[in-house]
């Protein structure tokens, strides 16, 4: 019996060793497969370094920091690269408030509050200028990236976007009665029907598209006609649903309208016929990040088809520059129909700095009635 027991024990050990070897082989095969698709040896090395770091601390507020998104990305990240890491989301300040904190942490040699920084260009560019971000060769890790996807100096990379939409209450407004262009907003029939944001979202883009003088004329006409009935920051789709704002121009969360509509809410959204704009969502790695390799790997994963699909499914903000993404399909269909397309990428924000820094404030004050 002892001999049989010994043989059984040895058999179990051999089987266990075989299973472990197979598992290791599967991990290597997974990494090799991904490397063959994009990134090569540089990506393989990044995967190995990211696995050693083990956990990514994600600190901030908004869609990109939601526990639901991090959980979904964690699962996909581990499955794609054959690793076992954790993405830990912790509620924190907005990107505009987190930016000076990250800059100060680098200057004083402290570990960054967040391992990865989700923010638009208007926070990424100053952070890079202050020396707070790592400069990464994103194209080496993800061959095929377009120039407009890579931030200035390689400090950030575009992983998604928010498009500027016109939200409306379907019980109060017909789709055929919505403004089809910026000039349509001056029609007196919209008196007392339109709400907008306190930040002039979509209106600074009007100035870039039409010129400062024409955009100002349109906003002045809206104010004179009593078109604007209020401004707000958050919860827009719900306020459209109640009828507080029959029309809202411009909101940035089409997925919120789609989900509310699916539940029976009287809401929908549209875009203008001749022009579509949006704000690029970027990600970067703080220079004093405790887990920089895992931050880079997550950034690369979010650029893959699997990552883009996850982003769209959870927050509806994939990248218009990634071929086959939902926003890319929408953008290309609008372009094919003759619309001009504009997104606030690093390059465009720098090129149009005057509009973002000066004109946006002027138009926002007018829209608020100041």
Place of tokens 């680098």: 106
Give yes or no for a contact between 250 and 165, defined as CB atoms under 8 angstroms apart. Answer: yes
Query: What confidence tier does 14 reach under pLDDT thresholds 50, 70, 90?
Result: very low
* 290 CB-contact burial (10 Å; exposed 0-12 / middle 13-18 / buried 19+): middle
Please state the pTM of the whole predicted model. Answer: 0.87
**Residue 22 scores a pLDDT above 60:** no
What pLDDT does residue 11 have? 47
Question: Between these two residues, 33 and 128, which has the higher pLDDT value?
Answer: 128
Q: Name the token pair of 276.
A: 């579509």
Query: What confidence tier does 39 reach under pLDDT thresholds 50, 70, 90?
Result: low
- Residue 158 CA to residue 291 CA, distance in Å, equals 20
What pLDDT does residue 36 have? 38
Q: Which of 138, 135, 140, 141 is nearest to 47 (CA)?
A: 141
Domain 38-154+290-306 in CATH 3.40.190.10: yes
pLDDT in tens, 71-80: 999 999 999 9
Going by their DSSP bridges, the two strands 165-169 and 267-270 should be labelled as: antiparallel
Fold (topology level) of 165-270+339-367: D-Maltodextrin-Binding Protein; domain 2 (3.40.190)
Give yes or no for a contact between 260 and 237, defined as CB atoms under 8 angstroms apart. Answer: yes
Phi/psi for 265 (5° steps) reads -70, 145
Question: Between these two residues, 293 and 234, which has the higher pLDDT value?
Answer: 293
Q: Is the peptide bond before 237 cis (omega within 30 degrees of 0)?
A: no
Lowest mean pLDDT among 5-19, 47-61, 98-112, 342-356: 5-19
**Residue 44 scores a pLDDT above 60:** yes
**Residue 42 scores a pLDDT above 70:** yes
**CA angle (112 as vertex; 349, 46 as ends), nearest 5:** 85
29-33: long-range pairs with CB below 8 Å, 24+: 29/82, 30/80, 30/81, 30/82, 31/81, 31/82
Range(s) within the chain of domains with CATH label 3.40.190.10: 38-154+290-306, 165-270+339-367
């Amino acid at each position: 019996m002892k001999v049989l027991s010994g043989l059984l024990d040895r058999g179990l050990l051999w089987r266990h060793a075989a299973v472990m070897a197979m598992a290791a082989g599967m991990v290597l095969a997974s990494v090799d497969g991904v490397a063959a698709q994009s990134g090569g040896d540089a990506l393989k090395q990044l995967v190995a370094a990211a696995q050693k770091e083990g956990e990514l601390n994600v600190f901030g507020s908004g869609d990109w920091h939601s526990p639901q998104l991090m959980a979904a990305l964690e699962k996909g990240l581990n499955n794609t690269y054959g690793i076992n890491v954790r993405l830990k989301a912790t509620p924190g300040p907005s990107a505009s408030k987190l930016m000076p904190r990250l800059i100060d942490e680098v200057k004083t040699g402290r570990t960054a509050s967040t391992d990865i920084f989700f923010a638009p260009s208007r926070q990424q560019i100053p952070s890079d200028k202050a020396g707070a971000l790592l400069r990464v060769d994103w194209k080496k890790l993800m061959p095929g990236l377009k120039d407009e996807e890579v931030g200035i100096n390689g400090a950030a990379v575009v992983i998604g976007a928010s498009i500027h939409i016109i939200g409306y209450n379907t019980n109060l407004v017909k789709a055929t009665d919505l403004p089809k262009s910026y000039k349509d907003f001056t029609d007196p029939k919209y008196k007392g029907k339109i709400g907008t944001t306190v930040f002039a979202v979509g209106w600074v883009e009007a100035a870039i598209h039409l010129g400062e003088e024409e955009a100002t004329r349109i906003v002045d006409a809206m104010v004179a006609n009593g078109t604007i009935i209020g401004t707000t920051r958050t919860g827009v789709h719900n306020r459209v649903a109640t009828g507080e704002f029959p029309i809202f121009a411009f909101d940035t969360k089409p997925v919120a309208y789609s989900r509310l509509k699916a539940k029976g809410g009287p809401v929908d959204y549209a875009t203008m016929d001749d022009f579509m704009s949006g704000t690029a969502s970027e990600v970067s790695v703080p220079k004093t990040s405790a887990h920089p390799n895992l931050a880079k790997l997550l950034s690369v994963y979010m650029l893959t088809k699997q990552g883009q699909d996850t982003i769209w499914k959870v927050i509806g903000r994939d990248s218009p520059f990634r071929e086959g993404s939902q926003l890319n399909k929408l953008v290309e269909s609008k372009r094919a129909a003759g619309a001009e397309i504009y997104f606030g990428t690093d390059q465009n924000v720098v090129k149009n700095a005057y509009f973002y820094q000066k004109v946006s404030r002027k138009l926002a004050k007018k829209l608020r009635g100041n």
